[in-house]
Structure 1
């Protein structure tokens, strides 16, 4: 139910596609005005076409509708937004429990596609029999309106080709920050500050409660993956007494700052590279050498020339250091892609950059026809309001130094930069930040954490379970999120919990 994590592993920073936990007082209850609305269920054709990952509309039983929500929950009489929703009704209405609402992560991933995926993959499952399977596109994303839009496709291509983050000289920093300001101004011009100010998880959680009410559910049954765990945590903080059951898989540590998450993510990338180098070394023609201890300097010698001499690609673009680092950072954390990574690094050694450019395109959301996933803009906007940004150049330099130390393969050798990224120059203030959740009255929920998760490390799941006083289910595998993905032990425990609310024993683990 997840798409590839969008790395921004350019020369100086790894931007993790994960949002911050929500801070603030309990929401103003909008259920009386908005939650009782009658959803006009109909065809899903226009809704699924709005998603980048177009899916069949989950069979003939799929229904779609727009949910009305206030753009600003503190001003319910003001402008409204429309949230795209898909449901596949329970196949056994006589034993129906309610709705199972999904969020697949991101931020920036459309939930309509996730619900369609699950309904198509498991139409005869016990969950599909007992629950309406429901997905929604969070505000600004997918079929929801207004949508967040920023750069035209040609501008994205030009910015990647310029690779301004690689130049850490004072003039280079000025050029990079000017680009960030221009990008932010484009978001304001295309979307408006009123939308950008209310794009974050705090507001999406309030939308989720209106959806719960409109679906006719007294309490929410929810499955959130990756960033969806942050959204679930935000909902639990604001509406703890309205939670029936909640599975949070691939957890974000709610007490961890965005800077610390970026450093932890960089460390995960380096660990992935170290494992790759150890696996590659005994193989003939390994592009990072035959000694894993020396793999990092060999790799740096391979990539750093791209700073001054990008490599040509078949589509007349050029592979820069930033795009190469992005492609490598995404591939090293998945052993299934190590053979492709080897081919890509060998290609660089031979003087061309097509394979790593293709991987960087996947991460950036660029299709083969040159168009970009528009939801990348929305995901960036969520990140920038969900966390306090790094606005001080000295702090930006210190963070860049920490990232380079954690992941030497991402270090371009030009020294840490004081440049502030888009969030550091964002035009609206943040609405959240790291803290320990306070959830009085929350029923015991289930957190699933994978020992070898390359994106959200296992300790983050332990921390979230502790913060919510939740039951922790450990999966002894190596992947990012696992629930309802065919692992029998995990699926059996999760399904039983969602249906009967029975939690597994303390300390339970499922083998890979």
Structure 2
């Protein structure tokens, strides 16, 4: 019951660990300051949005940064109708004398908090970039502090995430479908009209209003994982406003939902095999003495936990590790090879009958505190956005067929991912978007980064987007984990920093 949940975490772990909450204006902030910028006109065809494009942000001190709210229309087709407030944070350039402008960032998701991500500015961009740019983040509509969508109670979300993700027979398939449909109904009840207006296109339009409110003629942008999709849609809508844009860990906009599910299944299969090789090389792998043995042992473990969940300690809200939670825990370690040792130890513990450590990894994945409180709403809003962006089948039998066929290419992760997007097939609101090739003709050069063994956004997707864009440069990082910039490679970092600081476009095909 998960839709592309694996694409959600680019940067989120960093933000959750290193960022503190933003104190918004009127809730304890001090030193309100309305920074005057030259009013900008809306793009052609959007003259009715003039009042939004000319707004001045009222910045307020919030724990070493500046916070504000941006007013945007609920429905862009009715600019004179209801509005919503988007939470924005600015971490000023470290060296004002070197300031170039504003760098807007998005960590992924959909559902990752750009506010939390920007608070980790010292870790998400290079030092020179940090010196020269105000790092600006915003929670996209429906996310975090921006009219958040909250479909389920924490207890109900625990049940949803922990339920069987790979139904084995007709009865389990129908139960899965009921839960999937129930999520959408709950979202419709709690979110109201907003649920139909949280698409990526809506967020991209908000981002252009933010660009204008920051006083920037062009958008300088860093998007990771789903943030690349947001950036690409922005470039499609506003090519003339594209400045220095970096897209790291690409979700290509022309992918169908089925292609995304299968692509991620294959990506996680590839990444898990790399972890299995590491496990064997360490010499104390609890699952086997070869990569194939480890992979089969992992699948056997998940089948066993499906039937007999493991006890775990320290959290009365979730006293047992189910297949659903175990899958999330294993997936969490695939995002960063620094977690591989943790997963080896957690699996050793789990095979001895204790699911505590594997559940700790799952908590990290779900942005969940050990006591059962969720720090954000990423695990809910990810559906709300994706279900508007891409059409899905609601045919349970077709879903079962896709899951069965996926085993040939991704025996460990195929069924999990193929079933994951059924909630969108049963969503109460029809999708407003769909697969689309984007050229962004007329945009400034866009830098695309792909990691060869990225689990969540397979390298092939970065190549695919590079081939579509009219003017782009591809950096290839030969490595493991999800995304590359400031995460694991000096070659990538230097190329991106030079682009942001000097406008030097990396050579297309640069390999790091």
Q: 1:41 maps to which residue?
A: 59
In 1: Cα distance, 2:303 partner to 2:118 partner: 43
Question: Following superposition of structure 1 onto structure 2, how do residues 42-61 of structure 1 map, counting pairs within 5 Å?
Answer: 42-44=60-62, 57=63, 59=64
Q: 1:102 maps to which residue?
A: 105
Given that 1:105 and 1:227 are in contact with CA atoms closer than 8 Å, whether structure 2 keeps it comes out as yes
Distance change in 2, residues 1:419/1:440 (3 Å): closer
Structure 1 window deviating more from structure 2 (292-301 vs 362-371): it is: 292-301
Q: 1:401 maps to which residue?
A: 404
Q: Give the deviation of 1:400 after TM superposition.
A: 1.4
Given that 1:164 and 1:175 are in contact with CA atoms closer than 8 Å, whether structure 2 keeps it comes out as no
In 2: Cα distance, 1:496 partner to 1:286 partner: 42
Distance change in 2, residues 1:502/1:14 (3 Å): closer
Is 1:451 aligned to 2:452, yes or no? yes
Question: Following superposition of structure 1 onto structure 2, how do residues 121-160 of structure 1 map, counting pairs within 5 Å?
Answer: 121=123, 125-144=127-146, 146-160=147-161
SS in 2 for 1:41: strand
Q: Give the deviation of 1:350 after TM superposition.
A: 1.6
Unaligned runs of 5+ in 1: 1-7, 20-24, 45-56
Given that 1:384 and 1:426 are in contact with CA atoms closer than 8 Å, whether structure 2 keeps it comes out as yes
Given that 1:168 and 1:417 are in contact with CA atoms closer than 8 Å, whether structure 2 keeps it comes out as no
Q: 2:188 maps to which residue?
A: 188
1:41-80 CA-partner distances (Å, limit 9, x unpaired): 1132xxxxxxxxxxxx4x3xx2111000001111001110
Given that 1:230 and 1:252 are in contact with CA atoms closer than 8 Å, whether structure 2 keeps it comes out as yes
Distance change in 2, residues 1:431/1:27 (3 Å): farther
Given that 1:16 and 1:261 are in contact with CA atoms closer than 8 Å, whether structure 2 keeps it comes out as no
SS in 2 for 1:483: coil
Given that 1:27 and 1:238 are in contact with CA atoms closer than 8 Å, whether structure 2 keeps it comes out as no
Distance change in 2, residues 1:358/1:436 (3 Å): same
In 1: Cα distance, 2:436 partner to 2:404 partner: 25
Unaligned runs of 5+ in 2: 10-42
Q: Give the deviation of 1:139 after TM superposition.
A: 0.6
Q: 1:272 maps to which residue?
A: 271
Q: Give the deviation of 1:421 after TM superposition.
A: 2.1
Given that 1:296 and 1:408 are in contact with CA atoms closer than 8 Å, whether structure 2 keeps it comes out as no
Distance change in 2, residues 1:27/1:183 (3 Å): farther
Distance change in 2, residues 1:507/1:369 (3 Å): same
Structure 1 window deviating more from structure 2 (96-105 vs 166-175): it is: 166-175
In 2: Cα distance, 1:347 partner to 1:94 partner: 53
Is 1:492 aligned to 2:491, yes or no? no
In 2: Cα distance, 1:122 partner to 1:341 partner: 25
SS in 1 for 2:67: strand
SS in 1 for 2:68: strand
Q: 1:442 maps to which residue?
A: 443
Distance change in 2, residues 1:402/1:331 (3 Å): farther
Q: 1:238 maps to which residue?
A: 237
In 1: Cα distance, 2:90 partner to 2:488 partner: 22
Q: Give the deviation of 1:279 after TM superposition.
A: 3.2
Given that 2:248 and 2:483 are in contact with CA atoms closer than 8 Å, whether structure 1 keeps it comes out as yes
SS in 2 for 1:409: coil
In 2: Cα distance, 1:124 partner to 1:166 partner: 41
Structure 1 window deviating more from structure 2 (462-471 vs 279-288): it is: 279-288
SS in 2 for 1:82: strand
Q: Give the deviation of 1:329 after TM superposition.
A: 2.9
In 2: Cα distance, 1:455 partner to 1:479 partner: 9
Q: 1:63 maps to which residue?
A: 66
Q: Give the deviation of 1:164 after TM superposition.
A: 4.1
Question: Following superposition of structure 1 onto structure 2, how do residues 460-499 of structure 1 map, counting pairs within 5 Å?
Answer: 460-469=461-470, 470-485=472-487, 487-499=489-501
Q: 1:75 maps to which residue?
A: 78
SS in 2 for 1:202: helix
In 2: Cα distance, 1:428 partner to 1:113 partner: 29
Distance change in 2, residues 1:94/1:331 (3 Å): closer
Q: 1:508 maps to which residue?
A: 510
Q: 2:168 maps to which residue?
A: 168
Q: Give the deviation of 1:95 after TM superposition.
A: 4.9
1:382-424 CA-partner distances (Å, limit 9, x unpaired): 1111111122233312321233333323478xx9998972111
Given that 1:18 and 1:383 are in contact with CA atoms closer than 8 Å, whether structure 2 keeps it comes out as no
Distance change in 2, residues 1:157/1:453 (3 Å): closer
Given that 1:397 and 1:416 are in contact with CA atoms closer than 8 Å, whether structure 2 keeps it comes out as no
Structure 1 window deviating more from structure 2 (399-408 vs 78-87): it is: 399-408
Distance change in 2, residues 1:332/1:104 (3 Å): closer
- For normalisation by structure 2, the TM-score amounts to 0.85
- For normalisation by structure 1, the TM-score amounts to 0.85
Q: 1:47 maps to which residue?
A: none
Alignment root-mean-square deviation, CA: 2.8
Q: Give the deviation of 1:437 after TM superposition.
A: 0.8
Instruction: Report the count of equivalent residues.
Output: 474
Given that 1:269 and 1:333 are in contact with CA atoms closer than 8 Å, whether structure 2 keeps it comes out as no
Question: Following superposition of structure 1 onto structure 2, how do residues 269-308 of structure 1 map, counting pairs within 5 Å?
Answer: 269-281=268-280, 285-308=284-307
Q: 2:28 maps to which residue?
A: none
Given that 1:87 and 1:115 are in contact with CA atoms closer than 8 Å, whether structure 2 keeps it comes out as yes
SS in 2 for 1:42: strand
